[in-house]
Amino acid sequence: MITCDVAIVGGGLSGLYAARLLRKASIDVVLIEAQAHLGGRIRTVDDKGQPTEDGFDLGASWYWPHIQPAIGGLIAELGLSSFTQNTDGDVLFERMSREPVHRFSGMGQEQASRRLIGGTARLINALTCDIPADRLLLNRRVTVMTLMETGVNITCQPSEGRAETIMTRHVIAALPPRLLEATVAFIPALERSDASRWQETPTWMAPHAKFFALYERPFWRDDGLSGTAQSMVGPMVEIHDATTSSGKAALMGFIGVPAAQRQLLNEKTLAKACVGQLGRLFGPLAAKPQATLLKDWATDPLTATEADVAAGGHITATNESWVTGAWRKRLTLAGSETSSQEPGYLAGAIIAARRAVEDVCG
C-alpha cells in the first residue's frame, strides 16, 4: 500500500500545478494518471501524430496573457517563451455552398492570443520535472474512493496486473466533474445534489474535434490571407493559421459536425471533406497537404462521456463548493471546469489548482 498526505487524481495542467504548489509547501504528494502520458487535454504532436516538443496542439493551444494573468504568470515563472498567433491578413467567410467565398479585411486583435514556442506540451514537461518518479503513478485508473476515519482509501487499476491501494489524508480530483462522476465509485455515495451538478457540468473540449492540414510553407500568407476563416457550410466552422514558431506550416479547423454524427463517419471520409473545404477556401495548394491530423475528443474515453457526445453546453463560473456532505473535508475538485474564473481554459486550470491547494493547506 502507498501512503501520502495528498493524492492528486489527474495529470493534466491543474493536477501538475497543484502538485508543484504542494511540494513547495513540503507536503507529500502522489499524482495518479490513468494514461501513459501526462497533459490531459494538452497534447502536442508531430506530423505523424507522435508526441513532440515542437509540433501541433491537438487540444489546448491559445492563451491571452493580458486578460489571463494566472497562466501568463506561470509561463513566465517556468521560463517558457511564446509567440503571437498569426492574424495578419484578410479573413474568409463561407456563407452558402452556392455563393463564392467572401473576403474581408482583417481587423487584427488589440489583445492577440499567444501560443507557446514548441507547443503547449512544453508547459506540461516543465511541471513534470518537479515530481519524483516514485510519486508519479501512470497507467492507473482510479475506480473507487472509500472514505475512512483518517482519510481516503483509493483503489487503482493498473493497465496490467492487480488492483493497487493508496491511502491518503486528502484527495484533489484534478479532472472534469462529469468524468469523475462517471468513472469513479464513491463509498459512501456522493450527495445527490453534488452528483447531479457534476453530471450537468460540460467538459471543455469533450464534444469537439480538431483537424490539421500540414504544408511545406504557409502559402496563404503570400495571398494576403491570415489563415482565419469561418464557414456555415462546413465541415469545419472555424479555421486558423496553426503554423508553428519554427515555421512548420499548417491550417487548423474546429469541425462543426456534432459528435454523434461524427461517429457515423469514418476518419478518412471526414478528413477528405475537410481538405476539400480548405481547397474551396484557400485554393488548389490547400487541397494538397503533406499530411493531416484529426483529433476527435468525443471518442477519448478519458475525456468524454456519453453525456458529452449527446450535447455541448457552456461552463458557468461559480464560487459555490463542489463537494458537500461527508466528503467535504476529504475531497477537493480542481479540474479547470470548477474554476471561479475562466473555467475550461488553461487559466482556469491554474486558478482551480490554487484554490484546491488553499483548501488542503488552509
**Residue that is written with C-alpha cell 465509485 in the block:** 185
Residue 111 has pLDDT above 80, yes or no: no
According to the model, what pLDDT value does residue 97 have? 87
- Check whether the bond before 235 is cis (ω within 30° of 0): yes
Spatial distance between the Cα atoms of 335 and 243, rounded to a whole number of angstroms: 29
Spatial distance between the Cα atoms of 189 and 87, rounded to a whole number of angstroms: 50
Model pLDDT for residues 139-176, shown as the tens digit of each residue: 999 999 999 999 999 999 998 889 999 999 999 999 99
**Residue that is written with C-alpha cell 508553428 in the block:** 244
Q: Helices marked H in 184-336 — which ranges? A: 192-200, 259-262, 267-282, 306-310
Report whether 360 contacts 198 (CB < 8 A). no
Half-sphere exposure of 128 (CA within 13 A, CB side): 18
Model pLDDT for residues 246-271, shown as the tens digit of each residue: 999 999 999 999 999 999 999 999 99
Q: Is 269 exposed, middle or buried (0-12, 13-18, 19+ CB in 10 A)?
A: exposed
Residue 38 has pLDDT above 90, yes or no: yes
Residue 245 has pLDDT above 70, yes or no: yes
Spatial distance between the Cα atoms of 130 and 127, rounded to a whole number of angstroms: 6
Label residue 225 by pLDDT band (50, 70, 90).
Answer: very high
According to the model, what pLDDT value does residue 316 have? 86
pTM: 0.95
Residue 110 has pLDDT above 70, yes or no: no
Q: Which three cell numbers stand for residue 133?
A: 518518479
Residue 279 has pLDDT above 90, yes or no: yes
HEC string of 44-91 equals: EECCCCCECCCCEECCCCCECCCCCHHHHHHHHHCCCCEEECCCCCEE
**Residue that is written with C-alpha cell 518537479 in the block:** 130
Spatial distance between the Cα atoms of 283 and 138, rounded to a whole number of angstroms: 45
According to the model, what pLDDT value does residue 109 have? 60
Label residue 26 by pLDDT band (50, 70, 90).
Answer: very high
Q: Helices marked H in 225-339 — which ranges? A: 259-262, 267-282, 306-310
Provide mean pLDDT across the span 101-124.
88
The torsion angle over the Cα atoms of residues 99, 269, 202 and 20, rounded to 10 degrees, is: -120
Q: Which three cell numbers stand for residue 64?
A: 491571452
Same fold? 2-42+123-204+305-361, 86-114+207-299 = no
Residue 355 has pLDDT above 90, yes or no: yes
Assess if CATH 3.90.660.10 describes domain 86-114+207-299.
yes
Residue 24 CB coordination number (10 Å):
10
Look at strands 209-215 and 249-255 and give their pairing.
antiparallel
Model pLDDT for residues 157-167, shown as the tens digit of each residue: 998 889 999 99
3-state secondary structure of 230: strand
3-state secondary structure of 109: coil
Residue 76 CB coordination number (10 Å):
13
Assess if CATH 3.50.50.60 describes domain 2-42+123-204+305-361.
yes
Instruction: For the chain, give every domain's residue range.
Output: 2-42+123-204+305-361, 86-114+207-299
Label residue 309 by pLDDT band (50, 70, 90).
Answer: confident
Residue 312 has pLDDT above 80, yes or no: no
Spatial distance between the Cα atoms of 282 and 293, rounded to a whole number of angstroms: 18
Report whether 254 contacts 209 (CB < 8 A). yes
Q: Which three cell numbers stand for residue 73?
A: 504568470
CA 349 to chain centre: 10
3-state secondary structure of 26: coil
According to the model, what pLDDT value does residue 108 have? 61
Amino acid letter, 82: S
Q: Which three cell numbers stand for residue 47?
A: 506530423
The torsion angle over the Cα atoms of residues 16, 19, 24 and 30, rounded to 10 degrees, is: -140
Least confident of 109-113, 144-148, 192-196, 206-210: 109-113
